Amino acid sequence: MPIIYEPKGAAREYSPLAMNIYLSCPHKCLYCYAPSCIQKNREQYYSIPEPRKNIIENLRKELSKVRPKSQVLLSFIGDPYGMSTDSNYTTRRILEILLENKIPVAVLTKAGTKCLRDIEIFKLFGEHIQVGATLTFSKDEDSLKWESGAALPLDRITALTGLKENGIRTFASFEPVIEPEQSLELIKVGLPFIDVYKVGKINNYNGVDKKIDWTDFLIKALDILRPAGKQIYVKHALRTAAPSVRLFGNEVLPDEHNVT
């Protein structure tokens, strides 16, 4: 498999290209789909990861042959700033290589303010980078229950605030949505420092999604975001679950809010 690849299915809604630096993740999210995707049991997947073998050398070889022009997301499997055996040094090196090759980048993390260690590199990308966080719960106790190894909500919010204050384009992924009222609270809290909102739902996890009124959730989310003039992408699964909600073209185009 190439280092930079084209994601499929729901993952493609986030970015036309992606790269996974680590192949396990200590965040221990109960709802995570990645273990089944890479055929690891959860105990293996939740281990502290090493960077993929020879990833830097292999990336340089790939880029010597072709340089992607589309946005590359870090990452779908693992977390570029999660706990790791190399203290995320490889993430920094990857960013430096992508910067050298003028490749636009999106970074998605649940590790909170740990990403700020690379803020000077983010700044060098200018308008060709966006950095985001997955926001799930506003209450620490729920975050600890569902995502016991990830950063707590305030730490993720502090990271986004710091990024915005330093002129970095920010985004937030509201997926999964497990407690809609908490997600709506976070959507509102983020208005001053989140540029792009990607809003989804929870899918096929112990019947949780069957108990939620997705039409009500989406209407309330849009009532917050539209008047604020925010850039919005509503994921396909949520659109399907709330088909009566009228959406505009720029709210349903997955590549509308990518960096170039």
Backbone dihedral angles phi then psi of residue 247, each to the nearest 5 degrees: -120, 155
- Sign of the torsion angle spanned by Cα atoms 238, 76, 85, 162: negative
Per-residue burial over 198-237, b if 16 or more Cβ lie within 10 Å, else e, is bbbbbbeeeebbeebebeebbebbbebbeeeebbbbbbeb
> CB within 8 A of 160, min separation 6: which ones?
132, 133, 170, 172, 190, 193, 194
DSSP 76-106: SSS-TTSS-TTTTHHHHHHHHHHHHTT--EE
192/205: higher pLDDT? 192
Least confident of 117-121, 140-144, 200-204: 200-204
Enumerate domains of the chain plus CATH numbers: 15-251 (3.20.20.70)
137-179 residue pLDDT tens: 999 999 999 999 999 999 999 999 999 999 999 999 999 999 9
What are the pLDDT digits (tens) for 68-96? Answer: 999 999 999 999 999 999 999 999 999 99
Sequence letter at residue 134 = T
Neighbouring C-alpha atoms within 13 Å toward the C-beta of 212: 25
User: pTM of this prediction?
Assistant: 0.96
Across the chain, which distance is largest between two alpha carbons, in Å? 50
pLDDT band (50, 70, 90) for residue 1: confident
Instruction: Give CA torsion, residues 48, 154, 230, 5, to 10 deg.
Output: 0
